[in-house]
């Protein structure tokens, strides 16, 4: 079942056919068949856009607001201490307001704590600050970001299996932000 829900796209076409036949012969839940099929949808298609809209129309996992469509961004934060430098790239799915706040917070932390390592503190801090500036621009756009599209593509099987359960969808988005 895990294979069907999460990893169908990594299977060769022959293996996928066997998986689909196996699901049918075992009389497993229709939801799993849907989940496998969802993973075969092209990113440019209308069907794929429906999954994007489904995620964008959820309440914000960070502030619960339903006023703005959700988006996704990768936010960089660098912290250094002499020889140690840690560059954290965090995926966040939330409303644009919460994404901007998190992005600003990552930027401020990096500006304060990122530089104090040699040489990686300076290198990584520069990378993170440039990346966060680009991210801030993307969040301002009303279009889904590449990060959101990639997230939906990777998790479309799971999204399909949770589609009818708003609470589970919300829990999934929440768990992404807590990673
Ligand atoms: Zn929010």
Is the confidence at residue 58, as pLDDT, over 80? yes
Burial group, residue 120, by CB count within 10 angstroms (0-12, 13-18, 19+): middle
Q: For residues 30 and 117, state if they share a domain.
A: no
The rounded Å distance from CA 60 to ligand 1 centre is 5
| 92, 72 contact by CB (below 8 A) | yes
pLDDT attached to residue 77: 97
The rounded Å distance from CA 145 to ligand 1 centre is 16
The rounded Å distance from CA 59 to ligand 1 centre is 8
Q: For residues 161 and 177, state if they share a domain.
A: yes
Is the confidence at residue 83, as pLDDT, over 90? no
Burial group, residue 115, by CB count within 10 angstroms (0-12, 13-18, 19+): middle
- pLDDT band, very low/low/confident/very high, at 149 (cuts 50, 70, 90): very high
Is the confidence at residue 165, as pLDDT, over 80? yes
Q: For residues 86 and 1, state if they share a domain.
A: no
pLDDT attached to residue 29: 76
Per the structure, how many domains does the chain have? 2
Q: For residues 49 and 5, state if they share a domain.
A: no
Domain that includes residue 135, residue range = 42-179
pLDDT attached to residue 54: 97
Which of 27-31, 42-46, 132-136 shows the lowest mean pLDDT across its residues? 27-31
The rounded Å distance from CA 158 to ligand 1 centre is 23
Q: Which residue has the higher pLDDT, 10 or 69?
A: 69
Q: For residues 116 and 70, state if they share a domain.
A: yes
pLDDT attached to residue 93: 97
pLDDT attached to residue 72: 98
Burial group, residue 54, by CB count within 10 angstroms (0-12, 13-18, 19+): middle
Dihedral (Cα; 160, 166, 169, 175), 10-degree rounding: -170
Q: For residues 55 and 98, state if they share a domain.
A: yes
The rounded Å distance from CA 16 to ligand 1 centre is 38
What average pLDDT does range 70-80 have in this prediction? 97
Q: For residues 49 and 35, state if they share a domain.
A: no
Q: For residues 61 and 110, state if they share a domain.
A: yes
pLDDT attached to residue 11: 78
% helix, strand, coil for the chain, step of 5: 60, 15, 25
- pLDDT band, very low/low/confident/very high, at 15 (cuts 50, 70, 90): confident
Q: Partners of 34 in the beta sheet?
A: none
| 76, 131 contact by CB (below 8 A) | yes
* Average pLDDT over all residues of the chain: 91
Q: For residues 82 and 22, state if they share a domain.
A: no
pLDDT attached to residue 115: 93
**Which tokens go with 160?**
């399909």
The rounded Å distance from CA 112 to ligand 1 centre is 25
What average pLDDT does range 61-82 have in this prediction? 96
Q: What is the CA radius of gyration of the chain?
A: 19
């Amino acid at each position: 079942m895990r294979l069907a829900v999460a990893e169908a796209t990594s299977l060769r076409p022959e293996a996928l056919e066997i998986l689909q036949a196996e699901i049918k012969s075992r009389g497993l839940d229709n939801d799993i068949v849907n989940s496998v099929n969802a993973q075969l949808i092209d990113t440019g298609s209308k069907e794929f856009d429906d999954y994007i809209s489904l995620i964008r129309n959820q309440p914000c996992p960070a502030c619960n607001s339903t006023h703005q469509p959700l988006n996704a961004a990768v936010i960089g934060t660098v912290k250094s201490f002499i020889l140690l430098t840690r560059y954290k790239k965090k995926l966040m799915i939330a409303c644009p307001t919460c994404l901007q706040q998190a992005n600003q917070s990552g930027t401020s932390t990096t500006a304060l704590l990122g530089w104090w390592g040699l040489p990686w503190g300076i290198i990584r801090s520069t990378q993170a600050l440039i990346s966060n500036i680009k991210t801030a621009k993307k969040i301002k756009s009303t279009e889904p970001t590449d990060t959101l599209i990639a997230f939906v593509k990777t998790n479309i099987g799971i999204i399909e299996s949770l589609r009818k359960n708003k609470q589970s969808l919300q829990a999934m988005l929440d768990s992404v932000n807590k990673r």
